[in-house]
Structure 1
């Protein structure tokens, strides 16, 4: 597991999440811990190193 910090696409506050580095490509939905809006998160790992991180707001 690896902690990574990024900005919420809704409230622009910095939040952190733990990512499983053993899975190379992941996509999941998490709520922002500050504003509670849903965020689509897609981290990409290569040999346990984060090589890309896509953070998208989910239009409701």
Structure 2
């Protein structure tokens, strides 16, 4: 049973990894954590809502 706070590992995610992800339907990209020698290292921060808007240009 998975509980809040558990660490889940998805190996070989293929097209479902960060490189092929998109923000379609305003989905935020998750953080990425690398485990090396049993220690967790944050290698990419998760998106925040402001990240979706930062490159948009106001038209009106």
Q: TM-score, normalised by structure 2?
A: 0.29
Choose between structure 1 and 2: higher strand proportion.
Answer: 1
> Which of structures 1 and 2 has the larger relative contact order (alpha carbons within 8 angstroms, sep 6+)?
1
Choose between structure 1 and 2: higher helix proportion.
Answer: 2
Q: TM-score, normalised by structure 1?
A: 0.29
Please tell me whether Structure 1 or Structure 2 has the larger radius of gyration of its CA atoms: 2
